[in-house]
Each structure stands twice: as structure tokens, then as C-alpha cells.
Amino acid sequence: MKPMKKMTTAFLIMAAAAVSFATGAWAKEMTVQVNMTQLRATPAYYGAVVATVDYAARLQILETKGSWAKATDPKNNKTGWLHLSALTSKRLTPKAGAKSAPTSVSTGELSAAEKGFTEQIEKDYRQKNRTIDFTWVDRMEQININPQKSVAFLKDGQLIATEGGRP
């Protein structure tokens, strides 16, 4: 092999390696770490809702833009954007009674943190601390502002609908 040809071959190999390294690695999975959130048509809270995703859902990450990720839910092949603060690279266990089937992860891979403070612990706490009243905590959690309401509120006050900050 002439030096010139050798170099061309080496070049092609390196180029292929570099490109696949830079792009191929995007086929990455991440897990929804919040109770429930939405996949949206655009990287913004005010974008149309494509689908809803639950806690522990594993999503294929296609690309990121600022603090938003474009992801596909393999369960129904729906693709949309969600904020990176809703995602973790860890695996999580679906809640009992969740529609999604349990993931096939072995228990060894599960985060010990999931075993920390859960509904079970709150229940125990409430039994032991009868004077601590959760009524208003439950009530305040019921106050949910639909993003469309926020848009109208911002518009009326001549404010800006931003796309959400960076994690």
C-alpha cells in the first residue's frame, strides 16, 4: 500500500469512527422521574400535547435543544419534547397499578434511593403524628394551572411565554 493510500484509508476509518461516535451515541434511553408529564409538539410548555408519559417510563432520546429533549415513547411510538428536568439517566420502578408493564431490570440495577421516603413512610408518619394535618397540603396540590391558562394570563399582562429554563 502506498503511503498516500494508507493515509486515505486511515482518514476514512477515523472519519467514520468520529462521525458514529458523535451521532450514534444519541440513541440513548432516559427515564421519566416525575409523577406524570407531557410530550409536546414543540420544545415549550405552551406547545401542543402529543402524549402523556408516566413515572419510570423509558424514553428514547433523539436530540436535545437547550434544556429540552426530543424523545420517543417506545410503548406507543409517540414522539415529542419534554424538559430535561423531568428525566434521569437512572432506571426507576413503575408504580404499582401503573399502566406500563414493569421494566425488565434486575433489582440490582434499581436505585436504592427509590426505597427511601415513599407513600409507605408518609402513612407511617401520619399514624404517629396525628396532630400534623395534611388536609391543606392535599388541597393546595389540587390547584393546577393549565399551561393554556398561563399563556392567556401572560398575554393579558403583556408578559412573555418563555420556553423554560436550563437545568
Partner 1 sequence: MRQLLAAFVMVVTILFLLAVQGCQTVGTVAGLGADIAAATGKISAKEAESIKRGAQAAGQAFEEFTPENEYYIGRTIAANILSRYKAYENNRANYYVNLVGQTLAMASDKPETFSGYHFLILDSDEINAFAAPGGLILVTRGLIRCCRDEDALAAVLAHEIGHVQLGHGMGAIRGARYTSLGKVVGVELAKNLGGGQLAQVAEIFDGTVGDIMKQLVDTGYQSSQEYAADQAAVVIMKRVGYNPSALKDMLEEMGKRLGPKSGGFGKTHPSPANRLQKVGSSLAGSGPTVAAGIRKARFEQAMTGI
Query: Interface residues for partner 1 in 100-139 (CB under 8 A)?
Result: 107-108, 110-122, 124-125, 128, 131-134, 136-137, 139
How far is it, in rounded angstroms, from Cα 61 to Cα 127? 42
How far is it, in rounded angstroms, from Cα 18 to Cα 131? 62
Strands (E), the chain: 28-32, 36-40, 49-54, 58-65, 68-73, 78-83, 87-88
Do residues 46 and 151 lie in contact, with contact meaning Cβ atoms separated by under 8 Å? yes
Is 141 an interacting residue with respect to partner 1 (CB under 8 A)? yes
Least Å from the CB of residue 28 to partner 1: 6
Number of residues located near partner 1, criterion CB under 8 A: 80
Question: How many CB atoms are closer than 10 A to CB 116?
Answer: 8
Q: Of 8-27, which residues contact partner 1 (CB under 8 A)?
A: 11, 14-15, 17-19, 21-23, 25-26
Is 166 an interacting residue with respect to partner 1 (CB under 8 A)? yes
Nearer to partner 1, 101 or 157 (CB): 157
10 Å CB burial of residue 12 (0-12, 13-18, 19+) is exposed
Do residues 60 and 32 lie in contact, with contact meaning Cβ atoms separated by under 8 Å? no
Query: What does the per-residue mask of binding to partner 1 show for 62-101, with x meaning CB under 8 A?
Result: --x--x-x------------xxxxxxxxx-x---------
> Helix (H, G, I), strand (E, B), or coil: what is residue 83?
strand
Least Å from the CB of residue 66 to partner 1: 11
Least Å from the CB of residue 49 to partner 1: 14
User: Using the rule CB under 8 A, which residue among 42, 60, 100, 150 binds partner 1?
Assistant: 150
Least Å from the CB of residue 50 to partner 1: 17
